[in-house]
Amino acid sequence: MNTTQHVATLGQSLWLDNLSRSLIHDGGLTQLIAGDGISGVTSNPSIFQNALATSPYYAEDLARLKLSEPDAERRYEALVIPDIQAACDLLLPTFEASSGNDGYVSLEVAPRWAYDAPRTVAEAQRLFAAVDRRNLLIKVPGTPEGVSAFESLTALGINVNVTLLFSVAQTEAVFHAYIRGLAARARAGADVRRSKAVASLFLSRVDTLVDTQLAEIGTQEALSLRGKAAVAMAKLAYQSYLDIFHGEAFAELAKQDATPQYLLWASTGVKNPDYHDLLYVEPLIGRETINTLPDKTLAALREHGQPGLHVEEGIAEATAQLAELAQRGVDMDTIGNTLQDDGVKSFEAAFQKLLRQTG
């Protein structure tokens, strides 16, 4: 058993934050599943933008689509949906062995619908039908409108990865939307046992913005808090997860064998080279969690990671760190809202660039 496989024994799933046709055709994903215990894949517009720019396997299909499909977004979907389907098929044994609790691949709704709940619902349903795989998660942003769409999709039986979460408050809102959606599904007499959702809490971007504000404050006390906000936030989000999904709020649904909405740690590659390369991995290993890793971070975990159950440790310290940030005027809810808006804009810019690549 290597280091990455050891993580799975501690109750955390490792998903790959990357997907391309090269990764599928050249056997890379198969090797990661077998050798590292990778049990899921996440994608986003930036990932597919890079895939189309670097993989040689799209050229023939793209040339054909330019002659037959006038719409750039439909050309993009025709290119990437086969990749999503192939990844789902490779992970199907994991999905089946876990009774539907793991082995998922994520595909994102176009970012421009992030503030349009009805269109998000419609697009999610369309993409879910187009991919036609049981182990697909549709990615929906955690904007207020996205959360509303998520609740509706959960009631409809569409499995969702809620993305672009940057605060405990945003995460808790998503948890409660999941419970409302499942409850509506149960009232309608539908089976809730096959419902699956994850909540993707982004980490490194939080530290980047908080660290900037701390540097502007400039005191020794403020500077000592750099690089601590994201992990502290994640630990408290996990405490909320435990309180909600192992408490009274989820009790009735648990009796119906409904599955909690696991936290997924996203944006786990460090952006500050001075920070330990596993800053957003080792401290956040815990039961009923997922970490989606870019290739570089996965390699670091494999090479020198020291897995242990740490996400429930240091809760008093994490609480104190966030309190100190608040005392210095760093509002984590404001940070979260700013980063969510920026994240939607960033994904939309990547998506538009991606459409131009297919043009």
Joined together, the tokens standing for residue 273 give 């080279």
Which one of the listed residues 139, 196, 228, 235 is annotated catalytic? 139
Would you call 82 exposed, middle or buried from its count of C-beta atoms within 10 A (0-12, 13-18, 19+)? middle
Active site residue 196: no
For 211, other C-beta atoms within 10 Å of its C-beta total: 22
Are 166 and 206 in contact, with CB atoms under 8 Å apart? Answer: yes
Joined together, the tokens standing for residue 252 give 């009735």
DSSP 275: S
How far apart, in whole angstroms, are the C-alpha atoms of residue 151 and residue 175?
Answer: 10
Burial 20-40 (b: 16+ CB within 10 A, else e): bbbbbeeeebeebbeebbbbb
Nearest to 165 by CA among 13, 28, 350, 292: 292
Burial 280-314 (b: 16+ CB within 10 A, else e): bbbbbbbebbbbbbbeebbebbbeebebeebbeee
Nearest to 76 by CA among 58, 102, 103, 100: 58
How far apart, in whole angstroms, are the C-alpha atoms of residue 48 and residue 50?
Answer: 5
Nearest to 279 by CA among 207, 198, 199: 207
Task: Give Cα separations from 10 to 57, 287, 288, 307, 309 (angstroms).
Answer: 37, 6, 9, 8, 7
Task: Give Cα separations from 126 to 45, 65, 133, 203, 334 (angstroms).
Answer: 18, 20, 13, 30, 34
**Active site residue ranges:** 139
